[in-house]
Chain A
């Protein structure tokens, strides 16, 4: 493979990572906004959160992406392709994330809420100081799954000709004709990126749990390392 073709792959890798990271950050904003809205006392906010989650969980990310790219211009909004990609992925993953946020908040023991009320906390103080610090720790494992889903969904942007990793691989395939090698390598590349994200999230999970004085059982990788340490 010539240096020029590697260049496509590297640039594509950067776009894929940008989509994943920015999509995750924006998705997190949507997830918290909608998740908190769904446990709100105001019926209007609950309805709004419900509408958002049901719509974007019922809709595939690719349709949303097509809509942003082909339909928005008709209403007079031309989005930059990368932004359209990030927005479509974030809207999609945010809807799933909202359910994670809602579930984690619901799982806070009732006694904690009663204690906060007894201490005369305002609802916002209660959310900020009692509910969220515990709920966020509970959200991280589910969020790591969502992050991998987001990484996988990011490949869809290649269908609308955004030059991500998958798009780069298609160009390389077209010029080298080595189909099995290129797509096989691409699968391994996504697998490795997913593994790196998983390890990072696992680290975050352990740190967050430690901040509440809890411990997380060691994962597969940690177990392998521990075994080698013990035998060494």
Chain B
């Protein structure tokens, strides 16, 4: 540990925390997009019409199996070329949201599949229209089931925010790199950023575990 600079290590905290706020903003915004788009994906994939469900499956699998980084590059460089301009934070949120929508849609799917068949049959016996079946019978039961797994994807998304350094979003890793190029000391701010990431992620997973226990009890009752 030759010449570890504790001053730089501790002084980097306020700027990194600003970066943490940006990372959390991207996470929240991206997650809202993922929640809505994911439900859309899940419903499209469940469609009984093959010309809807097959293309939807292909698109979902394609987005899932290609790197988030390249998707972000694509949005970041191509959107302005076709005349659409967002702030980098919005572009980041869209990238994260679309990517995670494909994961979230699987969570919805398993939640929907978990609703007992009898509920579908009861809805049909009551002659409920399709929309009513979904909004009053299926989704209210499927969504609480999906909650714990949905919470896990918030954490996963937060852990992907360092990738945003590549499209100049000023999150923690970007800040750490900037401090590094200013002070010529990279090790200290990067280590501090790593610690802050870890602590935040652990707090989030602790909250998710509480959520899981809570909804687990509801289901058991």
Which of B34-42, B70-78, B119-127 binds A? B70-78
B55 at the interface (CB under 8 A from A): no
A73–B69 CA distance with the chains assembled, in angstroms: 26
B1 at the interface (CB under 8 A from A): yes
Give the number of residues in A that approach B within 8 Å (Cβ atoms).
41
- For B166, the chain A residues whose CB sits under 8 A away are 158-159
A133 at the interface (CB under 8 A from B): no
Partner among A54, A60, A63, A155 whose Cβ is within 8 Å of the Cβ of B70: A155
Task: Please indicate which of the listed interface residues A54, A59, A153 has the most CB atoms of chain B within 10 Å of its own CB.
Answer: A59
Expressed in whole angstroms, the minimum distance between the Cβ of B77 and any Cβ of chain A is: 4
A206 at the interface (CB under 8 A from B): no
Interface of B is mostly: helix
A132–B139 CA distance with the chains assembled, in angstroms: 40
Q: Are B69 and A159 neighbours in the complex by a CB distance under 8 Å? A: yes
Q: Are A183 and B73 neighbours in the complex by a CB distance under 8 Å? A: yes
Expressed in whole angstroms, the minimum distance between the Cβ of A73 and any Cβ of chain B is: 8
A203 at the interface (CB under 8 A from B): no
A31 at the interface (CB under 8 A from B): no
List 6 A–B pairs whose Cβ atoms lie within 8 Å, in order of A's numbering. Answer: A62-B165, A63-B197, A66-B162, A71-B187, A166-B70, A180-B81
Binding site for A on B (CB under 8 A): 1-2, 4, 57, 62, 64-71, 73-74, 77-78, 81, 159-163, 165-166, 173, 176, 180, 186-187, 190-191, 193-194, 197-198, 201-202, 205
